[in-house]
Amino acid sequence: MNRYTLQDFVNQTEQQDKGEGLFELETQRMLEVNLESKIWAKSGSMVSYMGNIKFTREGILEHGIGKMFKKALTGEGASLMKAEGEGKLYLADQGKKISILNLYDDSIFVNGNDLLAFEPSVSWDIKLMRKVAGMLSGGLFNIHLSGRGMIAITSHYEPLTLRVTPSRPVFTDPNATVAWSGSLQPEFVTDVSLKTFFGRGSGESIQMKFSGEGFVVIQPFEEVYFSGDNNG
């Protein structure tokens, strides 16, 4: 039998048009963007493109001086690039699993390192987590996205969504927290007793506490961030 031929490999892995619109999951770890005008994407996430597409690193005053100062304070992570033109664009981020979300007057917070791409119609703002600046090594900011349009987020392996209710708050490890609904405002709590169970320093004792009504998305992986890494 002529198995595993080169033609078999091409047939099995070849790009397919699914007709799903602007954002398509070409694979679970590769986002296809059917670009017709402009999108924002995480810097360094382009792996291939076809057509006439121009890439521009985000201008320092592109989104207003307020966001510029916030980004200077975070010092990492949420560096964006603008892709303009027409064609097919393929985005990926370290082999992480991609989830597409279509906002219909919704809002969501996404960890700054886990936002892959979004439409210009989506409003966004950087939210700093100042209270824990001295406790966690990076990952100190998230991005609030709202309005209408498509966004793509990433997670290490399969994401799990936990419901938050007034009678049942949810506690998470900050480094395993991907996103949460816009109705929630996390607070940071410290559990000194957890230090005795983990040998990796004080980070394990800090938890995010979500109270109210909404949801939290977590991943089965603790992502450690390093200050000064702008490029993702």
Q: How confident is the prediction along the chain (232 residues), in pLDDT tens digits per residue?
A: 678 888 888 988 888 887 778 999 999 999 999 999 999 999 899 999 999 999 998 765 455 555 554 554 444 445 789 999 999 999 999 999 999 999 999 999 999 889 999 999 999 988 876 655 555 544 467 899 999 999 999 999 999 999 999 999 999 988 899 999 999 989 888 876 665 555 555 445 788 999 999 999 999 998 775 444 333 3
Pairwise CA distance, residues 56 & 59, whole Å: 8
Angle CA 170–176–180, to nearest 5: 50
- Per-residue confidence (pLDDT) for residue 62, from 0 to 100: 58
- Per-residue confidence (pLDDT) for residue 140, from 0 to 100: 62
Cβ neighbours for 214, distance < 8 A, ≥ 6 positions apart: 163, 164, 180, 181, 182, 183, 184
- Per-residue confidence (pLDDT) for residue 228, from 0 to 100: 40
Which residues are registered as beta bridge partners of 129? none
Residue at 84: amino acid letter: E
- For the chain, list the domains and their CATH numbers: 21-218 (3.60.160.10)
pTM for this structure? 0.83
Could you tell me the two tokens for 227? 């200050």
